[in-house]
């Protein structure tokens, strides 16, 4: 596996990103908010390519939360149109690079204008194995957990004693994937914003003041170098980790 820092640790298997700051970037540049989102989509392209080059197994991007439905309707329509455009412009390259695209969240709430494109890219890339790109749409961590609970309840012959961490995880949107090793948040906000609440229990957090449209390969390298200096104990002591 490729190392960013030759002497310290390995790269994370799974990177999750809260892509924040598109609106502030547009405001700083005296542009409409949608221009920030468009610039942010260019950053998505760059970061996906870099993660694929580095051999990252899973990259999860927080694109649109359930709370984002409360934004002005004009902005939501523009975001959905941008999503549709992004899917069609990137689908071939993603497939050629053996990247599987997996949309997670309450997809039933997405407008009909984007659903055919969402289904198409998931179907088109379903058999790819080099990397999984999760795009969180209409997503919230609490909703993910609630939907998992509902799935468990509707299954027959499931008793409380049968519900383990592994079984519960298998009903989440990220079923079958490793939990995020590294959670990156851009724009400097110090919160997780209802993102992957179950999955990030032991994720390393990296917060940067850089706005998402300005988060490039160099900034990703900084995050990975910082990650490689962390000592992950998972609740154990240093002595236990040495003897593990």
22: phi then psi, degrees, rounded to nearest 5: -60, -45
**Catalytic (active-site) positions:** 20, 68
Sheet holding 204-207, edge to edge: 99-104, 131-139, 58-65, 14-18, 182-185, 204-207
Contact 213, 40 (CB under 8 A): yes
Element (H, E) at 104: strand 99-104
Contact 212, 21 (CB under 8 A): yes
Tokens of 215: 């988060």
């Amino acid at each position: 596996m490729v190392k960013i820092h030759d002497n310290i640790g390995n790269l994370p298997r799974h990177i999750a990103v809260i892509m924040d700051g598109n609106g502030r970037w547009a405001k700083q540049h005296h542009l409409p908010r949608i221009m920030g989102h468009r610039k942010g989509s260019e950053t998505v392209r760059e970061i996906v390519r870099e993660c694929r080059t580095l051999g990252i197994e899973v990259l999860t991007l927080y694109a649109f939360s359930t709370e984002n439905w409360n934004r002005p309707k004009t902005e939501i329509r523009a975001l959905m149109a941008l999503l549709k455009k992004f899917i069609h412009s990137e689908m071939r390259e993603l497939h050629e690079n053996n990247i599987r695209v997996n949309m997670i969240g309450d997809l039933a709430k997405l407008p009909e204008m984007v659903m055919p494109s969402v289904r198409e890219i998931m179907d088109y890339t379903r058999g790819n194995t080099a990397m999984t790109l999760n795009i969180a749409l209409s997503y919230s961590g609490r909703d993910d957990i609630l939907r998992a609970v509902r799935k468990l309840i509707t299954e027959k012959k499931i008793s409380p004693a049968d519900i383990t961490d592994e079984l519960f995880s298998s009903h989440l949107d990220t079923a079958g994937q490793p939990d995020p090793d590294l959670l990156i948040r851009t724009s400097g906000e110090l919160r997780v914003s209802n993102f992957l609440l179950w999955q990030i229990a032991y994720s390393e957090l990296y917060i940067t003041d850089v706005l998402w449209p300005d988060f490039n390969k160099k900034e990703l390298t900084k995050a990975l170098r910082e990650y490689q200096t962390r000592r992950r104990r998972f609740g154990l002591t240093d002595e236990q980790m040495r003897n593990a």
